[in-house]
A and B are shown apart, each in its own frame.
Chain A
Amino acid sequence: MITFEHVGKTYGDWTAIEDLSLHIPKGEFCVLIGPSGSGKTTTLKMINRLIEHDRGRILFEGAEIRSFAPEQLRRRMGYAIQSIGLFPHWTVEENIGAVPRLLGWPKSRIRDRVTELLGLLALEPERFRDRYPRHLSGGQQQRVGVARALAADPAVLLMDEPFGALDPVTRDTLQAEMLRIHKASGTTIVLVTHDIDEAIRLGSRIVILDHGRIVQSGSPREILAKPASDFVADFVGREDIGIKLLSIERVGDRMRPGEMAEGEPIAADASLRHALSIFVARGIDRLPVVDQSGTVAGAIRLTDLTGAAP
Chain B
Amino acid sequence: MKRWLADPLIWTGLALVLLVIFMPALKPLFAVLFPDQDRPLFEQDSFINLTLAHIGLVAASSAISIVVGVTLALFVTRPAGREFRPLVETVVATGQTFPPVAVLAVAVPLIGFGAMPALIALALYGLLPVTEATVAAIEQVPAGAREAARGIGMSPAGRLRQIELPLAAPVILAGIRTSVIINIGTAAIASTVGAKTLGLPIIIGLSGFNTAYVVQGAIVVGLLAVVTDLAFDRLGGLLDRWKRDDVAASA
Contacts and interface: CB of A to CB of B under 8 A. Distances in A.
A130 B151 contact: no
A74 B251 contact: no
B152 A74 contact: yes
Interface string A66-101: 000011111100010101111111100000001100
Give the size range of A's interface with the partner. Answer: 20 to 34
A75 B142 contact: no
B148 A79 contact: yes
A260 interface: no
B153 A81 contact: no
A72 B147 CA distance: 16
Interface stretch (A29-37, A131-139, A191-199): A131-139
Contacts of B152: 74-75, 79, 98-99, 102, 148-149
B18 interface: no
Given A79-B148, A83-B144, A83-B147, A132 B153 contact: no
A50 interface: yes
A164 to B, nearest CB: 13
B145 A127 contact: no
Contacts of B150: 50, 74
A88 B242 contact: yes
B32 interface: no
B163 A79 contact: no
A81 B243 contact: no
Interface residues of B, number: 27
Nearest to B249: A135
A286 B153 CA distance: 55
Interface in A121-153: 127-132, 134-135, 145, 148-149
A129 B149 CA distance: 20
A88 B151 contact: no
Given A131-B248, A134-B243, A135-B248, A102 B147 contact: no
B32 to A, nearest CB: 55
Given A88-B145, A89-B166, A127-B251, A50 B151 contact: yes
A79 B151 contact: yes
B145 A85 contact: yes
Give chain B's interface secondary structure class: helix
B243 to A, nearest CB: 7
B127 interface: no
B153 A102 contact: yes
A27 to B, nearest CB: 22
Contacts of B250: 130
A43 interface: no
B247 interface: yes
Given A83-B147, A89-B166, A99 B142 contact: no
B145 A87 contact: yes
B104 to A, nearest CB: 41
A81 B243 CA distance: 23
B147 A132 contact: no
Interface in B116-157: 142-155
B142 A130 contact: no
A188 interface: no
B57 interface: no
A48 interface: yes
B142 to A, nearest CB: 7
Contact of A85 (B144, B153, B240): B144
23 contacts: A50-B150, A50-B151, A71-B155, A72-B153, A74-B151, A79-B152, A81-B144, A83-B143, A83-B144, A85-B145, A85-B147, A85-B148, A87-B149, A87-B162, A88-B242, A90-B242, A98-B152, A99-B152, A102-B154, A129-B251, A131-B251, A134-B242, A135-B248
Interface of A: 48, 50, 70-75, 79, 81, 83-90, 98-99, 102, 127-132, 134-135, 145, 148-149, 158
Closest 4 CB pairs of A and B: A85-B148, A83-B144, A74-B153, A85-B144
